[in-house]
Structure 1
Amino acid sequence: MSQAGLLAAQQKMHDAGVPQAAIDVFTHYYGQLESGVTGMIPEDSIDPYVNPPMLDELDVPEHIQQEAIAKTAIIKLNGGLGTSMGLDRAKTLLEVRDGLNFLDLIAKQVLSMRQRYKAGLPLLFMTSFRTDTDTVQYLQRYPQLAVEGLPLTFQQNQEPKLRADDLTPVQWPQDPSLEWCPPGHGDLYTALLASGVLDALLTGGYRYACISNGDNLGAVPNARIAGWFASTGAPYAAEVCRRTVNDKKGGHLAVRKSDGQLILRDTAQTPDQDMHYFTDEFRHPFFHTNNLWFDLQALRERLAQGNSVLGLPLIRNQKTVDPTRSDSPAVLQIETAMGAAIEVFPGATAICVDRSRFLPVKTTNELLLLRSDVYDLDEQGQLVACVETTPEVSLSSAYKTISEFDRRIPQAPSLREASSFIVKGDWEFGAEVSIRGNVTLGEQGGIVEQGHVLQGEG
């Protein structure tokens, strides 16, 4: 039955115009799924990774930085819609502050670095079939971003969701678009190859790529890291940050006992009985930022060796075909994580960076921080922290979607003197509100009037 399922899935992808390289990669993982591969990484198979080099302790000569950044391309992941925040367009179109969205700020950051280092520094976005049109249209206001011979966007591939009971492509006539899913951001490498972008970058004289999430405005192009990476001669490097008690969800690097290879382990790859190890910030003291660096030539050679298959570990993701309906058929999505590529490159390494390079916006909690006076926005499009310790922010479900968040908090309160800001109920805020110390607002809800100062302990 699974053989029939594979043939049906391959045909469906072919009919939809999915590149052959992506079909070949899907076929590879389908075989793993059929054979029962789960991608789990038990704690007893790894040792903690505890001693990465520290960026702030490294001396990278200016000429090395200049040479490396001149050969570097910047790639941003831009395939998500931000549906968890109530968005129906590319998440990077969400306003961050001062009327500017993620795309505006990324463009400013890259253009500023081009001018500073007199480097081409191409910027490319990996989009999805849901975000490509919006992204291309918006970037038309930055015609100077284009680099000859390179596109501004290339699309992530798509694959069929598979019925959990027989591994055949699911049918959902109510909304056929829900029959498809992205293969996870590990598809980056396949998409670079199949789109021709990888070869175009190499032809253009570029040797290195820096990859990060489009919603992480801390991942600014960095010549010092580029110089360090080039100097190592490593084929691949990951940026990590020191974990705190609040960093329990992000993946971490580890050393595989069987061969000493650096690997990435995510929550979906951790057995339930080992989750207490996974979340222990002392046992695994560094988390993976999803900021990556790799040698384009090394990637091209590795893909050629594997006939387009890089060999990332499988992530078996079980969902329902319609995420909003628990009674819809159970499906399996074949996924991979781009950070897991660290294990397919012998000699791969990592570097510990400052927390300022990790400013993702996954919820309105983080958005409130970026819109507040905890950060200043400089002329280069960079968010600069104005406090030594970022206050904890936790908003209730009343603020989950952007529309409800904006209605209740049209102007971010001052948080520079806050230690924590916890909102348990449904509260509305006037302009020029200030939070000081540890402030918790209760479940009863209410209105915080304009200019009010909320003073807590600490």
Structure 2
Amino acid sequence: MSDKGLEAAAVRMRAAGMPELFIRVFGEYYRQLEEGSTGLIPEHSIQPVTAVADARGIEPPVSEQAEALRHTVFIKLNGGLGTSMGMDRAKSLLPVRTGPPDGAMLSFLDIIAGQVRHVRSAFGVRMPLIFMDSFRTQRDTLAALAAYPDLVQEGLPLDFVQHQEPKLRVDNLEPVDWPEDPSLEWCPPGHGDIYVSLLDTGLLDTLIERGYRYACTSNADNLGAAPDGRIAAWFAASGAPYAPEVCERTPADRKGGHLARRISDGRIVLRDTAQTPADDMKWFTDETRHPFFHTNNLWFDLRALREVLNEGGGMAGLPLIRNQKTVDPSNPDSPQVYQIECALGAIVERFDGALPVLVDRSRFLPVKTTDDLLLLRSDAYELGEDFQLRLVPQAAPLVELDSRYYKRMADFDARFPHGAPSLREATRLAVTGDWTFGSEVHLRGDVELVARDPQTIADGTVLDAGVEA
């Protein structure tokens, strides 16, 4: 059964133009899946990481920052469609908020472009910006970036496309067929595919040959992870081959992945929710036991990465993540499939001398839900001339929107037709039921809205306390 499934998957990948190296990588994960590997990391096999380097508040000389940035490439992971928010295009095309210079509505891509252009101008460097797209996001992304022709560096691409693989039926591990939409038969193999993609596209060698020594990678939906000369200078001076950024964990971060030290060999490893046994979730979510969460902002030495990949015959050797879903995410009755994935940050265990670094919370502003988006669109944040988002109140308010009415972007936008309410003076907004917000609505303190029937908040309303209708 499994030989047939692997052979069928390889045939499909070759027909789709996938290189032999990636097919070999897929085969290794397939064998692990066949043998029943789940990629789980039980609590008894690890020890918490409780001490890390601290880059908060550092101010290296501007000359050191410029020198480090001159040898750094900035890579944005841009393969996601935002399907959990009801989108069918690259999430990075989603409008985030108005900004300089003319108050126009800007997308993630616009803001990322603004951040890079500002740093280039401020430090006098030509730091490359490169996107890792998926087969689903490339066309729309490049079309949007055409508005910024100065982003392109001579001799370097603006993007590269990560690989694609067949989704596998849970019942027989064969590639799934879904004639209703054949594109749904395929999936990207997770962000961890970046390393093999950099190698077999030749981009890794090209960057090194052109004098680049360091890379900083981060998710396109995390606008906090702007190019930072201070961290670049710190990393260059550290001599570390690899440095994942971490933040101090709070109760709000209990679902975020964390680093730990494997007892068997002393290596630092990354553990995500999908790699945690159900019985160990009480430890995974304990912010006092695992005090730092992994931001997915990574710094690595390009030469050290090439050595690691060459030692593995071109393969990064990252732990398997077995992700079980339906072939059509919008249809719960469609066949159950496995998506074979690996995590970007899991490569930490392959480096001797990997050095986790603590950064300010402002470098972690991901948009995974419409709750996150409402907060970034509100006046709780300001977008500066440097295209960086800065929190205005001392602490960000907690936003909890009823997923029945706000999870999908079309529903969300319909209920905020005039934009986000003022949240600058709020500590919490919890919405249960179907509420539509008028213009110039202001919230103060802890506001909880509960409704059994659809409700509308009138223009100019000021809410200081809970409302039930």
Paired residue for 2:407? 400
Determine the C-alpha separation between the residues in 2 that align with 1:188 and 1:368. 30
In the TM superposition, what are the counterparts of 1:81-120 in structure 2 within 5 Å?
81-98=81-98, 99-120=105-126
CA distance in 2, matches of 1:309, 1:38: 20
Identical amino acids, percent of aligned pairs: 59
Contact 2:167 2:185 in 1 (8 A): yes
CA–CA distance in structure 1, aligned partners of residues 284 and 204 of structure 2: 35
Mapping 1:273-288, distance limit 5 Å: 273-288=279-294
What displacement does 1:32 show? 1.6
- Counterpart of 1:430, as a letter, is G
- Note the C-alpha offset of 1:60: 3.2
| Partner residue, 1:319 | 325
**Contact 2:58–2:230, Cα closer than 8 Å, also in 1:** no
Deviations 1:403-436 (A, max 9, x none): 2212211221111111111111111111111100
Give the structure 2 partner of residue 443 of structure 1. 451
Partner of 2:437: 429
- Are 1:267 and 2:262 an aligned pair? no
Q: CA deviation at 1:220?
A: 0.6
Task: Name the residue aligned to 1:453.
Answer: 462
- Give 2:227's aligned amino acid: P
Deviations 1:233-285 (A, max 9, x none): 11111000111111111100111111221110001110111000000011111
Matches of 2:150 and 2:217 in 1, distance apart? Answer: 21
In 1, Cα distance between equivalents of 2:333 and 2:375? 37
CA shift, 1:174, in A, is 2.4
1:417 maps to 425
One-letter amino acid of the structure 2 residue matched with residue 203 of structure 1 = E
User: What's the CA shift for 1:106?
Assistant: 0.3
- Residue 368 of structure 1 aligns to a residue in which SS? helix
TM, length-normalised to structure 1: 0.97
> How do 1:54-453 residues align onto structure 2 when only pairs under 5 Å count?
54-56=54-56, 58=58, 60-98=60-98, 99-397=105-403, 398-409=405-416, 410-444=418-452, 445-453=454-462
Q: 2: CA distance between counterparts of 1:141 and 1:57?
A: 35
Aligned counterparts of 2:451 and 2:298: Cα–Cα separation in 1: 41
Match of 2:15 in 1: 15
Structure 1 residue 36: deviation in Å? 2.1
2:69 and 2:457 mapped to 1: Cα distance?
48
Quick one: distance in 2 between partners of 1:300 and 1:210? 15
More moved, 443-452 vs 306-315: 443-452
Residues in 1 aligned to 2:61 and 2:148: alpha-carbon distance in whole angstroms: 32
Residues 1:406 and 1:330: Cα distance change in structure 2 (over 3 Å): closer
C-alpha distance 248-449 of structure 1, shift in aligned 2 (>3 A): same
1:90 and 1:100 map into 2 onto residues whose CA distance is 14
Work out the number of aligned pairs and report it. Answer: 457
Q: CA RMSD in A?
A: 1.3
Aligned partners of 1:433, 1:331: CA distance in 2, in Å? 44
Q: Could you tell me which amino acid in structure 2 is paired with residue 158 of structure 1? A: Q
Q: Kindly provide the amino acid, as one letter, of the partner of residue 221 in structure 1.
A: P
Shift, 1:321, TM fit: 2.1
Contact kept in structure 1, 2:53 and 2:355, CA below 8 Å = no
Q: Any idea what the Cα deviations from partners look like across 1:24-54, whole Å, max 9, x if unmatched? A: 2111211222222221111011111111122
Asked if the contact 1:181–1:333 (Cα under 8 Å) also holds between the matched residues in 2, the reply is: yes
Q: Is the 8 A contact 1:24 1:308 kept in 2?
A: no
Does the 8 A contact of 2:42 with 2:277 survive in 1?
yes
TM-score by structure 2 length? 0.95
Q: What do the CA deviations read for 1:120-148 (whole angstroms, capped 9, x no partner)?
A: 11001111111100011111110000001
Deviations 1:161-211 (A, max 9, x none): 112222222222222212111111111111111222212211211111100
Aligned-partner Cα distance in 1 for 2:147–2:159: 15
CA contact (8 A) 1:28 1:309 kept: no
Alignment check: 8 A CA contact 1:75 1:124 kept = yes
Q: Which structure 1 residue ranges, 4+ long, deviate > 6 Å from structure 2?
A: none
Which residue type is aligned with residue 128 of structure 2?
P
1:284-330 CA distances to partner (integer Å, 9 max, x unpaired)? Answer: 11100110111111111211121221110001112222233333322
Q: Which moved more, 1:434-443 or 1:52-61?
A: 52-61
| Separation (CA, whole Å) in 2 of partners of 1:59 and 1:108 | 23
**Deviation for aligned residue 1:57:** 5.3
- Identify unmatched segments of 5+ residues in structure 1: none
Secondary structure at the residue paired with 1:246?
Answer: helix
Which sits farther off after the overlay, 13-22 or 132-141? 13-22
